[in-house]
Amino acid sequence: MKPDPGHFLGVVAGHLMTRTAPALPDPYEQSTVGILGLMLISVGEEFERAASRRVDENQALRRLFADAVPAVEDAELRGRLEVAATGSDGDLKVSALEASNSALRGLLIELHAHVEELESAPARRIEEAIWRELVASTERRRLAMGPF
Please state, in angstroms and rounded to a whole number, the distance separating the CA atoms of residues 57 and 115. 20
Q: Which 8-state DSSP code applies to residue 39?
A: H
Closest distance of CB 35 from other proteins, Å:
5
Contacts of 29 (CB under 8 A, 6+ apart): 21
Q: Which residues of 34-66 are buried (b: 16+ CB within 10 A; e: fewer)?
A: beebeebbebbbeeeeebebbbebbebbbebbe
- The reply to whether 26 sits near other proteins by the rule CB under 8 A is yes
Three-state secondary-structure class, residue 71: helix
Closest distance of CB 7 from other proteins, Å:
20
Closest distance of CB 56 from other proteins, Å:
16
- The reply to whether 53 sits near other proteins by the rule CB under 8 A is no
- Which string of x and - marks every residue 104-143 that binds other proteins (by CB under 8 A)? -xx-xx--xx--x--------------x--xx-xx--xxx
- The reply to whether 148 sits near other proteins by the rule CB under 8 A is yes
Residues at the site binding other proteins, with contacts judged by CB under 8 A? 26-28, 31-32, 35-36, 38-39, 42, 98, 101-102, 105-106, 108-109, 112-113, 116, 131, 134-135, 137-138, 141-143, 145-148
